[in-house]
Amino acid sequence: MNKKQRTIRLNLALILFSMGMALYAQDFYTAGERRHWLEKAHEYTPKLVETDMKPMNIVDIVKDQQAFQGWKAVRGSSMELFYKSPIKEQSGVVVDFGEHMTGYFTFSVAPLQTTPDAPARFKFTFGEVPAELATPFDPYPGGLSRAWLQDEIVTVMTVPDTITIPRRLAFRYVKIELIAAPNYEFTISDMKCKAVTSVSTIPESLPATVSPIIQKIDKTGLNTLKECMQTVYEDGPKRDQRLWIGDLYLESMANNYSYKQYNLTQRCLYLLAGLADENGYLNATVFERPQPHPQAKQFLFEYALLYNVTLKDYLVATGDQETVLDLWPVAKRQLDIVRQYLQKDGMMDFERVCKEWWVFFDWKSDLYKEVALQGVSIYAFAESYELAKMIGKEKEVADLPVSVKRMKQAAHKNFYDKKRGLFVGTKNKQISYASQIWMILSGVASKAEGRQALSALTSTADVCRPGTPYLYHYYIQSMVDCGMDKEAKEALVNFWGGMIEKGADTFWEAYDPDNDIISPYNFYPMNSYCHAWSCTPVYFIRKHPSIFQ
Ligand code: RAM
């Protein structure tokens, strides 16, 4: 090769490289689309409603084997007495605000007699449940940042003063420890919390004839949802305080049957669209501050698909075609996620999906997800096709009905163990709730097969059970879908009613009736005890009164 040929070759390579780069850097959506979506998201930012909340009384956090996580709060003396007495004599006291709140904590300090001449230092610990006040946080064994835990050191430089802790907190209880005491006597008083939520409507009350336990479950679900409804649907006001698609799906569904604040759903749908990856796929979670941005490349398989179902539910609830048409390009693009792994025989390429995506379904490390993955893919296709029909776009996704049929047949052929009446994977024979649930929700199982499979779960050994209320939601839905009304109500009452029996003011992120200290993060105080995906009894109770009321 002579010099000229070499130069031509090099130039060619450079041109190809830059073409490749340009292609890579190309955005699936136009700048105009993104701008519009983010502007819309901004326009629908709700105003927060602020309420000043005062503590009710002092409590003693008492060890009790029978209590949830081994600790209970026992009513103690009055706030009046606490406010009057020197704080030095009361270090370690726990104050009870009487209910779960999300907001900003303020307190005042004042001298008793002598002139204050030195600073004081406190440690405040905020807890959603009693055990958070009694379990040492250090040495910290957990998987997520220790800073999520709500203990704050506050140095008060001058007395008297009124101080607000800058961090937004989610709590019912506050422990106050004086960790550096000055020589003079002083008091703490006027504690309050400026509680915030974007909920501004009051949902219809349930008929008086509804049983007390269902009333309680509904009320606790509403509280959970209210606390999570901030300027987005947060997953939990303690942690992670942000929008996740899977949580949005369930929250918006509960909102559709209660507060009916559709603008918040709109905001979230637009925000996620505006912050989608350049390849057009949605990021599973996004942040609002300091300015809206995604958790880049956080690709969670089912969450991207559930966006479409959320959009469909939103349309059914509101009839707002304009928003849905605006966001249709995003929904349509998510379908390519399934298409790229769909094989000729109608089966999803499970191994390849797992390599390239976060496949979730539940916090359960041993869960084998092949069957559920096929199920959710079918479900997403079917629901998206319904959505397309509702906005006159079915021609754009004309492949879906054929694919759904093929995928269903393949699933039935490959996963259904006729002898046992259960669905199991091709490479791993684990029997899980998730597998049966998603074969029912996707319509792979007939109603009779679904009923048989769900019933068999309760009498089969070594079943992989749900680890969170997230999967439990789909469990209840699958029972409703195959006509197990009585069992669905029973399961709802046992599961969410179980949390209430253990003292829940709001429903929890993780719950196993037999294991109070279950945690996806290796440290149960890190769990969120007011968690979005746990609010869905509100949806079931209100959508299906004949089953649940
Ligand atoms: C946790 C959060 C959130 C959930 C994700 C998958 O970090 O609890 O609710 O959607 O997991």
Q: How do residues 40-85 score in pLDDT, each as one tens digit?
A: 999 999 999 999 999 999 999 999 999 999 999 999 999 999 999 9
For 106-142, the pLDDT digits (tens) are 999 999 989 999 999 999 999 999 999 999 999 999 9
Class of domain 50-197: mainly beta
Residue 7 pLDDT more than 80? no
CA distance 262 to 536: 17
Sign of the alpha-carbon dihedral angle for 335, 453, 549, 218: negative
Ligand 1 contact via 235 beta carbon (within 6 Å): yes
Q: Of all helices (H) and strands (E), which one includes residue 370?
A: helix 370-390
Place of tokens 């996704």: 397
Residue 181 pLDDT more than 60? yes
Q: With left for phi above 0 and alpha for psi between -120 and 50, is residue 280 left, alpha or beta?
A: left
- Give the mean pLDDT of the chain: 95
For strands 93-111 and 169-180, give the pairing: antiparallel
Residue 324 pLDDT more than 90? yes
Question: How many angstroms does the Cα of residue 535 sit away from the middle of ligand 1?
Answer: 14
Question: How many angstroms does the Cα of residue 509 sit away from the middle of ligand 1?
Answer: 8
Question: How many angstroms does the Cα of residue 393 sit away from the middle of ligand 1?
Answer: 32
Give the residue, by CA position, lying nearest to ligand 1 atom 7. Answer: 240
Question: How many angstroms does the Cα of residue 496 sit away from the middle of ligand 1?
Answer: 19
Mutation test of ligand 1: which of 235, 283, 300 has the most ligand atoms closer than 8 Å to its C-beta?
Answer: 235
Give the residue, by CA position, lying nearest to ligand 1 atom 1. Answer: 240
pLDDT score at 25: 67
Q: Which atom of ligand 1 is nearest to the CA of 235?
A: 9
CA distance 335 to 18: 29
CA distance 308 to 388: 10
Return the domain boundaries, the chain. 50-197, 349-463
DSSP-based three-state secondary structure for 279: coil
For 409-439, the pLDDT digits (tens) are 999 999 999 999 999 999 999 999 999 999 9
Ligand 1 contact via 105 beta carbon (within 6 Å): no
Residue 491 pLDDT more than 50? yes
pLDDT score at 501: 98
Ligand 1 contact via 415 beta carbon (within 6 Å): no
Residue 240 pLDDT more than 80? yes
Report the range of poorest mean pLDDT among 97-101, 113-117, 353-357: 113-117
Question: How many angstroms does the Cα of residue 541 sit away from the middle of ligand 1?
Answer: 24
Q: Which atom of ligand 1 is nearest to the CA of 528?
A: 8
Ligand 1 contact via 362 beta carbon (within 6 Å): no
Ligand 1 contact via 277 beta carbon (within 6 Å): no
Look up the pTM and report it: 0.94
Mutation test of ligand 1: which of 228, 232, 234, 240 has the most ligand atoms closer than 8 Å to its C-beta?
Answer: 240
Question: How many angstroms does the Cα of residue 244 sit away from the middle of ligand 1?
Answer: 7
DSSP-based three-state secondary structure for 493: helix
CA distance 146 to 134: 16
Residue 502 pLDDT more than 60? yes
For 448-485, the pLDDT digits (tens) are 999 999 999 988 999 999 999 999 999 999 999 999 99
Quickly state the pLDDT bin for 4 (edges 50, 70, 90): low
